[in-house]
Amino acid sequence: MNKHPLAEYVRILARGKNASRNMTLDEASFTMTHFLSGDAEPEQIGAVFMLLRVLEESPDEIAGFARAINHYWPTAACEYDLIWSSYAGKRRQPMWWVLSALLLREMGYRILVHGTLAHTEGRVYAHEVFKDLGLPEVTAEELNATTHPLAYLPCSEIHPVLQKWLGLKSVLGVRSPINTVLKTISPAGVPSVQGIFHPNYRKVHTSAALMNGEACAVIKGEGGEFEVNPERSCIAGLCLNNEESELTIPNRQSHYSDKPDSPDTAHLIAFWRDQLTSEYATEAVLNTAALALRTIRPELTYENALAECTRAFSARDKSLL
């Protein structure tokens, strides 16, 4: 039998305890390109994902995988000001970050959210919140045909296998590196914001962005989403103007008694309309929006971005929701 062109790439990761190594950026890009083109056996895909799970994926591998996936974005995605990844869902709190994105839309910025249509019991996902708020969920064809200043694009519309790969946890028992990779993807020249569960991944994400010449902000957000939790100090990893840095957003207090205790979207509507008063929500929405704005416009200081968002929030159109 002729050797499959990917066999040597699987072997890189599988040569045993002492001989195995992580892939270079180019090797990872080559591998993911074959995965996406259909020129890979399912055994190879499962082997690579699980071997990387054991070795722990490197910035080079995340950058290489993302570089290959980024070729599949709908053309119109390149016209947005910010790409916002949402894959974790929320369990304890509403998705305050959706109001941050809505506020930025009010300020004239175009925001494209991408994420999963999968569902874990007890969690609410962005596509559900967008539907409840009357915000558009679009196909790739619809995105290219119509202007949507704030829209949700399922990852399956970028490439059909991406949603399938996210579902491999039920088959393999653990998450695969694709869960990390999808948070980092963005069309060429469009900055992104990314929420993570584990702080040690912050540097992996920003280093991968630097390799691909991309701009991003990465935080350990509430529930794993890109959302500042005002009860904790938030350290944002930034890759802006081809430089990595960190920004700390201090918490004003360690507990807010006025935060809702469920992810019910009704809380978002009531807060936007001024029918719900919550200092927690105010801090979450404004700090998240300011960090996203800082990513769009790196010439701004965080303080100036926060001031702009605060003024816009005071003047918001409360009839939007």
Tens digit of each residue's pLDDT, the chain (321 residues): 678 999 999 999 999 888 999 999 999 999 999 999 999 999 999 999 999 999 999 999 999 999 999 999 999 999 999 999 999 999 999 999 999 999 999 999 999 999 999 777 889 999 999 999 999 999 999 999 998 999 999 999 999 999 999 998 888 888 899 999 999 999 999 999 999 999 999 999 999 999 999 999 999 999 999 999 999 999 999 999 999 999 999 998 999 999 998 999 999 999 999 999 999 999 999 999 999 999 999 999 999 999 999 999 999 999 999
End-to-end alpha carbon distance in the chain: 61
Answer whether 244's CB lies under 8 Å from 206's CB: yes
Task: Kindly state whether residue 2 falls inside one of the protein's structural domains.
Answer: no
Q: Are residues 244 and 103 in the same domain?
A: yes
Q: Are residues 272 and 307 in the same domain?
A: yes
pLDDT digits (tens, 9 = 90+) for 285-320: 999 999 999 999 999 999 999 999 999 999 999 999
Give the end of a domain, one of 17, 44, 72: 72
Q: Are residues 35 and 116 in the same domain?
A: no
The 3-state DSSP class for residue 137 equals strand
Residue 255 is part of a domain; what is its CATH number?
3.40.1030.10
E strands along 139-181, which residues?
Answer: 150-154
Task: Kindly state whether residue 1 falls inside one of the protein's structural domains.
Answer: no
Q: Are residues 121 and 16 in the same domain?
A: no
pLDDT number for residue 1? 67
Q: Are residues 62 and 95 in the same domain?
A: no
* C-alpha to C-alpha distances, 231 to 49, 203, 204, 287, nearest whole angstrom: 35, 23, 25, 12
Amino acid at 151: A
Cα-trace Rg, the chain = 20
Give the pTM.
Answer: 0.96
Task: Kindly state whether residue 209 falls inside one of the protein's structural domains.
Answer: yes
Q: Are residues 46 and 105 in the same domain?
A: no
Which residues 6+ apart lie within 8 Å of 10 measured at CB?
44, 47, 48, 51
Domain with 299 in it: 79-320
Q: Are residues 30 and 84 in the same domain?
A: no
Q: Are residues 63 and 149 in the same domain?
A: no
Count up the domains in the chain and report the number. Answer: 2
Task: Kindly state whether residue 68 falls inside one of the protein's structural domains.
Answer: yes
